[in-house]
Amino acid sequence: MIRWSKPNALSDVFQNFFDNDFTDMFNRRFSDPAANILDNPDAFQLELAAPGMEKNDFKIHLENNVLTISSEVQDEKTEEGKNYTRKEFHYGYFTRSFTLPKSIDLDKIKADYDNGILKVLLPKKEESRLDVKKEIKIS
């Protein structure tokens, strides 16, 4: 494909629209939210940055010690004016999977969504919380 020079200013407007808006829409559709994992004495805390969503947009699934967080959002807006009709739609999705250590108490996992952050609390089993300190001699 060969890039051609634009003949007038109107084509610049359309080219910028297609270059910027569609590229941004494509990137949002396939980008995964940033994740932080905090290791506390009693639990791990997994945080996903997902602003603009609602708690019902998320699905959290656990299978074979793999925690999968996914979301699928569809939005459609129609705006009508005197001489125009504008219709926009957005479809976004992501899936993130995390392999959990065996020290997690799978029955006590909890999730909360507030201010654009999905927090998943992964409590550690009681026996894994013991603070074992031991000096190992080198032979």
> For 109-120, how does the pLDDT look when each residue is reduced to its tens digit (9 = 90+)?
999 999 999 999
Select the more confidently predicted residue: 59 or 74. Answer: 59
Q: What is the pLDDT of residues 61-111, one digit of tens each?
A: 999 999 999 998 777 777 777 777 777 776 778 899 999 999 999 999 999
3 state SS of 127: helix
User: In Å, what is the CA distance from 106 to each residue of 43, 84, 92?
Assistant: 11, 54, 29
Q: Hey, which CATH number is domain 34-128, 3.40.47.10, 3.40.50.300, 3.40.50.1000, 2.60.40.790?
A: 2.60.40.790
Global model pTM greater than 0.75: no
Burial profile 88-108: b = 16 or more Cβ within 10 angstroms, e = fewer: eeeebebebeeebeeebeeee
On the question of pLDDT at 1 being above 80, the answer is no
Mean pLDDT of 27-54: 84
Alpha helices in the chain (DSSP H): 9-17, 23-30
Identify whether the C-beta of residue 104 lies closer than 8 Å to the C-beta of residue 123.
yes
How far, in Å, CA of 32 to CA of 95, rounded? 7
Sign of the CA dihedral running 115, 107, 60, 36: positive
